[in-house]
């Protein structure tokens, strides 16, 4: 029974591990009071929440083309890093944390 419980914990931990994702688009709006940005992407408009630990959000302005590394929690997109998107090409696996 202990082995079964141990395997369950290992499986559950791996299944609950959150990996970072990447989103590219153009900043439509920045709401500093609510700590969010609206981002126009190829698939539509996404709302991304800025956290106190988000890197690269200091100088954002509408019209900026950016690449956001984020994680998803509770249906919300939480920005981890924001960088200029100059190439427009998809990131390589080495650029995606946790990939």
Computed over its alpha carbons, how large is the radius of gyration of the chain?
Answer: 16
Residue boundaries of the structural domains of the chain: 19-88
The pLDDT tens digits for 36-77 are 999 999 999 999 999 999 999 999 999 999 999 999 999 999
CATH number of 19-88: 2.40.50.320
Please report the pLDDT score of residue 3 as a whole number: 59
As a whole number of angstroms, the distance between CA 40 and CA 28 comes to: 6
For residues 62 and 33, the answer to whether their CB atoms sit within 8 Å is no
pLDDT tops 80 at residue 7 = no
Please report the pLDDT score of residue 20 as a whole number: 75
As a whole number of angstroms, the distance between CA 82 and CA 17 comes to: 22
The pLDDT tens digits for 18-39 are 567 999 999 999 999 999 999 9
pTM exceeds cut of 0.95 = no
């Amino acid at each position: 029974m202990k082995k079964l419980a141990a395997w369950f914990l290992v499986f559950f931990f791996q299944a609950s591990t959150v990996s970072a994702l990447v989103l590219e688009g153009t900043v439509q709006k920045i709401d500093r009071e609510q700590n969010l940005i609206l981002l126009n992407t190829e698939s539509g408009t996404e709302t991304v929440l800025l956290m106190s630990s988000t890197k690269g959000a200091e100088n954002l302005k509408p019209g900026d083309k950016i690449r956001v590394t984020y994680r998803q929690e509770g249906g919300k997109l939480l920005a981890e890093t924001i960088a200029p998107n100059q190439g427009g090409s998809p990131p390589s696996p080495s650029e995606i944390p946790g990939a």
